[in-house]
């Protein structure tokens, strides 16, 4: 445990033998067979090496080889469509997997960071990401955050007119190295998931372009401010089809063209097209692929890639989701109303969206036996429950799997983004440890700690442990206590 994980060449050479990934050009997507084989090996090794067991009944696992592959696929996909020499920054949306070692790994693969809070910016800086590869977007930046970003020279996308006012004041005093843009909402409509659709008519993000007077306001804002050189839109997300995403990008491009026409110069020199490539949660296959999306953009918005505009992307889920697995021990196997229920240690604390909105965010579950081997046997319809004290705490309801028994393991697949990195402190359950896995120096699977498991002592400290008497003594006016 804790063994060093080798660099990309070694990892690629070792693991791509399973026939997955980069060999194909992404035209059809890969089947994910190599990734599934690596996952099975890792679960088994985690049990054998004692990472998982009765006293550590839940872990998050990250496939280092897979993350490197996805990063490479992203780079290759856009390199294939942009004019030679086009500046391209792929900024990983940190909110998808806010873990410092992950940001560092991606940095090594040529990927920067899109941040949306002081915490995310601090994670990116800790991972060694410089201002030139960092983009700050957020709908609620405070004056202090804006001042810090401009002082550091980080790219900033203003969300609305009030924020632009604040930036006006800062630009006058700051050295002004930050590339600055405005986020617009082309209002092209949402996808199948309301809560994560960003381009609906009433979305809270950006300047709503189709609202009365808004487009003209945006153009004037640029004409009045020669230092506004970027334009930003993020219209995709899970549930949004590629064609709709491409339309959002096309409308943003058209707006940049209009601004530049009216400015009589190439004032907007960089388009930030956001992220939002959806992820396939139904099988191991990677679909859609970055290559498909990049080719679609090249067909629908050819001017975008002809060399006149630099490009920024902000993918999150699609870079990490398929490389993460939550593995949880089956503490008890019982039966209720004739249906088998496996009570595991993974529930709402690691799969919050799935537990609260199972119809929208279903997860695949894989069954492993007590030794971490893929479980064999006839499929049995069963519930896979979590440890939290409410009845809806189910990772999966009525799913058909080999019957899970006490001491087996249930794995929630495709949970590398917006799942175990997004702990929800229900029932004061501790944050599970997160480990990266890959081929070890001496062969076999090796693990590295990405995030230590939280301890119960830390839970107490974060729950006011130092303020034990706060509410039973006399209260005092704020500042005098
Ligand atoms: C969340 C977010 C992203 C990343 O979205 P994914 O669906 O994870 O790719 C990119 N840009 C902005 C502004 C975001 O809010």
Residue 317 beta carbon below 6 angstroms from any ligand 1 atom? yes
Q: Span 391-396, mean pLDDT?
A: 95
Closest ligand 1 atom number to CA of residue 278: 7
pLDDT, position 244? 92
pLDDT, position 392? 93
Of the ranges 267-271, 339-343, 431-435, 472-476, which one carries the lowest mean pLDDT score? 472-476
Of the ranges 257-261, 433-437, 440-444, which one carries the lowest mean pLDDT score? 440-444
Q: Span 423-442, mean pLDDT?
A: 96
Sort 264 into a burial class: Cβ within 10 Å, 0-12 / 13-18 / 19+.
exposed
CA of 346 to the centre of ligand 1 (A): 25
| Residue owning the nearest CA to atom 2 of ligand 1 | 93
Residue 272 beta carbon below 6 angstroms from any ligand 1 atom? no
Q: Is 389 in the active site?
A: yes
Q: Is there a cis peptide before residue 136, judged by omega within 30 degrees of 0?
A: no
Closest ligand 1 atom number to CA of residue 318: 9
Of the ranges 7-11, 432-436, 448-452, which one carries the lowest mean pLDDT score? 7-11
Average pLDDT, whole number, for the chain? 92
Rounded distance between C-alpha atoms, residue 272 and residue 274, angstroms: 6
- % the chain with pLDDT above 90: 83
- Residue 138 CB neighbours (<10 A): 23
Closest ligand 1 atom number to CA of residue 319: 9
**pLDDT greater than 50 at residue 452:** yes
pLDDT, position 235? 87
Among 471, 474, 429, residue whose Cα is nearest residue 453: 429
Residue 316 beta carbon below 6 angstroms from any ligand 1 atom? yes
CA of 75 to the centre of ligand 1 (A): 17
CA of 241 to the centre of ligand 1 (A): 15
Residue 95 beta carbon below 6 angstroms from any ligand 1 atom? yes
pLDDT, position 239? 84
Closest ligand 1 atom number to CA of residue 314: 10
pLDDT, position 297? 97
CA of 291 to the centre of ligand 1 (A): 18
pLDDT, position 174? 66
CA of 274 to the centre of ligand 1 (A): 6
pLDDT, position 43? 98
Rounded distance between C-alpha atoms, residue 177 and residue 189, angstroms: 35
Question: 88-93 and 339-344: which strand pairing?
Answer: unpaired
The domains spanning 7-63+321-456 and 65-320 adopt the same CATH topology: no
Residue 114 beta carbon below 6 angstroms from any ligand 1 atom? yes
Residue 240 beta carbon below 6 angstroms from any ligand 1 atom? no
Residue 191 beta carbon below 6 angstroms from any ligand 1 atom? no
pLDDT, position 29? 60
Catalytic residue among 83, 201, 389, 425: 389
pLDDT, position 14? 34
User: Topology of domain 65-320, per CATH?
Assistant: TIM Barrel (3.20.20)
CA of 272 to the centre of ligand 1 (A): 12
**pLDDT greater than 80 at residue 278:** yes
Closest ligand 1 atom number to CA of residue 315: 9
Pocket test for ligand 1, best of 98, 112, 114 (most atoms within 8 A of CB): 114
User: Topology of domain 7-63+321-456, per CATH?
Assistant: Lyase, Ornithine Decarboxylase; Chain A, domain 1 (2.40.37)
pLDDT, position 4? 43
pLDDT, position 474? 84
**pLDDT greater than 80 at residue 421:** yes
Question: What 3 state SS string does the chain have?
Answer: CCCCECCHHHHHHHHHHHCCHHHCCCCCCCCCHHHHHHHHHHHHHHHHCCCCECCECEEEEEEHHHHHHHHHHHHHHHHCCCCCCCCEEEEEEHHHCCCHHHHHHHHHCCCEEEECCHHHHHHHHHCCCCHHHEEECCCCCCHHHHHHHHHHCCEEEECCHHHHHHHHHHHHHCCCCCCEEEEEECCCCCCCCHHHCCCCCCCCCCEECCCCCHHHHHHHHHHHCCCEEEEECCCCCCCCCHHHHHHHHHHHHHHHHHHHHHHCCCCCCEEECCCCCCCCCCCCCCCCCHHHHHHHHHHHCHHHHCCCCEEEECCCHHHHHHHEEEEEEEEEEEEECCEEEEEECCCCCCCHHHHHCCCCCCCCEEEECCCCCECCCCEEEEEEECCCCCCCCEEEEEEEEECCCCCCEEEEECCCCCCCCCCCCHHHCCCCEEEEEEEECCCCEEEEEEECCCCHHHHHHHCCHHHCCCCCCCCCCCCCC
**pLDDT greater than 50 at residue 81:** yes
Residue 314 beta carbon below 6 angstroms from any ligand 1 atom? yes
Rounded distance between C-alpha atoms, residue 287 and residue 290, angstroms: 9
pLDDT, position 23? 40
Closest ligand 1 atom number to CA of residue 417: 8
Sort 218 into a burial class: Cβ within 10 Å, 0-12 / 13-18 / 19+.
buried
pLDDT, position 33? 94
5-59 pLDDT, tens per residue? Answer: 443 333 333 333 333 344 444 445 678 999 999 999 999 999 999 999 999 999 9
Q: Span 110-126, mean pLDDT?
A: 98
Residue 206 beta carbon below 6 angstroms from any ligand 1 atom? no
Domain ranges of the chain: 7-63+321-456, 65-320
138-164 pLDDT, tens per residue? Answer: 999 999 999 999 999 999 999 999 999
């Amino acid at each position: 445990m804790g063994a060093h994980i080798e660099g990309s060449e070694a990892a690629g050479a070792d693991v791509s033998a399973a026939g997955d990934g980069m060999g194909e050009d992404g035209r059809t997507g890969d089947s994910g067979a190599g990734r599934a084989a690596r996952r099975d090996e890792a679960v088994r090794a985690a049990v054998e090496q004692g990472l998982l067991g009765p006293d550590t009944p839940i872990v998050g696992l990250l496939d280092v080889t897979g993350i490197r592959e996805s990063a490479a696929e992203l780079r290759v996909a856009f390199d294939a469509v942009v004019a030679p020499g086009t500046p391209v920054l792929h900024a990983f949306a940190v909110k998808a997997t806010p873990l410092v070692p992950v940001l560092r790994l991606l940095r090594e693969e040529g990927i920067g960071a899109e941040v949306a809070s002081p915490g995310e910016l601090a994670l990116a800086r800790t991972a060694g990401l410089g201002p030139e590869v960092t983009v700050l977007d957020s709908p609620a930046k405070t004056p202090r955050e804006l001042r810090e970003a401009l002082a550091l020279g980080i790219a900033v996308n203003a969300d609305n007119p009030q924020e632009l006012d604040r930036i006006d004041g800062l630009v006058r005093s700051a050295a002004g190295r930050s590339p600055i843009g405005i986020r617009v909402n082309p209002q092209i409509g949402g996808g199948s998931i309301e809560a994560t659709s960003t381009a609906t008519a009433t979305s809270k993000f950006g300047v709503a372009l189709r609202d009365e007077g808004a487009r003209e306001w945006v153009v004037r804002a640029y004409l009045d401010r020669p230092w506004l050189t970027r334009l930003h839109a993020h219209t995709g997300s899970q549930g949004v089809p590629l064609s709709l995403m491409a339309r959002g990008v096309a409308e943003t491009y058209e707006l940049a063209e209009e601004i530049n026409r009216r400015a009589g110069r190439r004032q907007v020199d960089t388009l930030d097209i956001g992220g939002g490539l959806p992820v396939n949660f139904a099988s191991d296959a990677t679909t859609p692929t970055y290559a498909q999306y990049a080719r679609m953009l090249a067909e629908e918005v050819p001017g975008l890639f002809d060399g006149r505009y630099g490009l920024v992307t902000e993918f999150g889920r699609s870079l990490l989701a398929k490389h993460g697995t939550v593995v949880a021990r089956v503490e008890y196997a019982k039966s209720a109303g004739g249906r088998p229920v496996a009570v595991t240690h993974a529930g709402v604390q690691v799969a919050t969206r799935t537990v609260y909105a199972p119809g929208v965010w279903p997860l695949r579950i894989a069954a492993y036996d007590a030794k971490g081997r893929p479980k064999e046997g006839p499929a049995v319809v069963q519930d896979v429950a979590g440890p939290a004290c409410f009845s809806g705490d189910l990772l999966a309801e009525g799913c058909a799997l080999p019957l899970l028994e006490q001491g087996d393991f249930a794995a929630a697949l495709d949970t590398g983004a917006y799942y175990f990195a997004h702990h929800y402190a229900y029932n004061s359950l501790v944050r599970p440890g997160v480990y990266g896995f890959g081929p070890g120096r001496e062969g076999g699977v090796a693990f590295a700690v990405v995030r230590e498991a939280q301890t119960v002592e830390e839970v107490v400290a974060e729950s006011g442990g130092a303020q034990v008497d706060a509410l039973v003594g006399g209260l005092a006016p704020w500042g005098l206590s």
